[in-house]
Amino acid sequence: MTPHTLVSEVVDVLHDVRRTGADCIVTLGGGSLSDAAKAITFAEANDVQTREDLLNLPHMMAKDRPSQPTRMPYILIPSTLSGGEYRSYSGVTDEQTNIKYQLCNLEPANVVILSSELAATTPEDVWIASGVRAIDHCCENLCTFKKEEPWAVIEKAQIDGLKLLVLNLLKTLEDPRDATARFNCQLGVVLSLFGLQYHVYPGCSHGIGHILGPMGVSHGKTSAVLMPAVHKYNASVNEKDQSLVCGTLWSIPEAADLFEACGLQRNGADLGDLLDAIVRRLGMPRSLTEVGITGEKKLQQLARNSMADPCVHMNPRKIEGPEQVLEILRMCT
């Protein structure tokens, strides 16, 4: 399965499922496979035959379309930290338009299996990149403008998840075979997506990232590039929320040592600065240029297409049009 779960491949595998008479789907791998299993089982229940049929299913920008619930069970065994196994929607990319659709009204996986031994075999660069994506889940959800009840419980889960992720990703750098650190990262992912159960959604880092991904950039790298800039862009409207996240990061001794080594101060560095330091320490790219996105034409295309993603419209600082997206993108060049 190609990264970002291409619509054409979902339809192809769906036909294979029907041809073989499969009665269950099991995936072993990352988030693109998890999304594929969710999309395929949903499509199977709704008599999808073509690309057009698949894109006519309910998605985040057209939630009220009629559909039948998933019938076929599916089991997910994740090898990365993308967290797709815990989301009740599936991101599929229409390669004809390069737009990613978030199919919704899906049934959760019947079983999710976590294995620290399996996790320790995932290549370090893949693991770290998906972990940065999980950090992005925590930070954007903690800084959301839409705080659903029970917010105190949601907030604690996101904070605890963020601590587990940052600490244990740094430990993974020191010893990539540390199975305990890898398992603690997996537990952090569970907590990082807790808010989604209560309809707490992320903002522009995820929204723009959904569109940047099909341009050839992995989701971990999209978060590495976009996340610090998005929080700097939003700081004027959610300073209190960002301060809470900053305090959480400073409370991790290993992270505090990193920040101080980078010359950052508790009273001077904002959330974007702290995330920049973490991303750089984890060896991830920090600019669009580094991930191959150059030239005004690509920036304009990315900004326009991003307006079709629902997460962009859930950003704490309102996005009125492509011009605001471009403002964020220019901070990432």
Strand 25-29, strand 74-78: pairing: parallel
Is 90 exceeded by the pLDDT of residue 88? no
Q: What is the chain's mean pLDDT, rounded? A: 96
Q: Which residues contact 226 (CB under 8 A, 6 or more apart)?
A: 204, 205, 208, 209, 212, 328, 332
Q: pLDDT band for position 61 (50/70/90)?
A: confident
pLDDT of residue 75: 98
pLDDT for the residue 293: 97
Do both 142 and 278 map to the same domain? yes
Q: Within a domain: residue 118? A: no
Q: Which domain holds residue 15?
A: 7-112
* Rounded mean pLDDT, 99-116: 94
The tokens for 284 are 């991830």
Same domain, 257 and 208: yes
Confidence band, pLDDT 50/70/90 cuts, at residue 197 = confident
- The predicted model gives 63-76 an average pLDDT of 97
Q: Do 176 and 270 belong to one domain? A: yes
DSSP 233-267: HHTTT-HHHHHHHHHHHHTSHHHHHHHHHTT--TT
Cβ atoms within 10 A of the Cβ of 266, count? 12
Among 89, 112, 135, identify where a domain stops.
112
Per the structure, the count of domains in the chain is: 2
pLDDT tops 90 at residue 12: yes
Which residue among 54, 85, 112 closes a domain? 112
> Of the candidates 72, 91, 112, which is a domain's last residue?
112
Instruction: Identify whether residues 172 and 219 lie together within a single domain.
Output: yes
> 209 and 228: one domain?
yes
Which secondary structure element, helix H or strand E, spans residue 86, and what is its range? none
Domain membership of residue 1 (yes or no) is: no
Same domain as 132, residue 84: no
pLDDT in tens, 286-306: 999 999 999 999 999 999 999
Instruction: Kindly state whether residue 40 falls inside one of the protein's structural domains.
Output: yes
Cβ 320 vs Cβ 165: under 8 Å: no
Assign 182 a pLDDT band (cuts: 50, 70, 90).
very high
305 shares a domain with 236: yes
Cβ pair 250, 259 in contact under 8 A: yes
What's the order of all strands across the beta sheet hosting 74-78?
Answer: 25-29, 74-78, 111-112
For residue 322, tell me if it sits in a domain. Answer: yes
Of the chain, the percentage scoring pLDDT greater than 70 comes to: 100
Please check whether residue 227 is in contact with residue 221, taking contact to mean a CB–CB distance below 8 angstroms.
no
Is the confidence at residue 253, as pLDDT, over 90?
yes
pLDDT exceeds 90 at position 219: no
pLDDT(326) > 90: yes
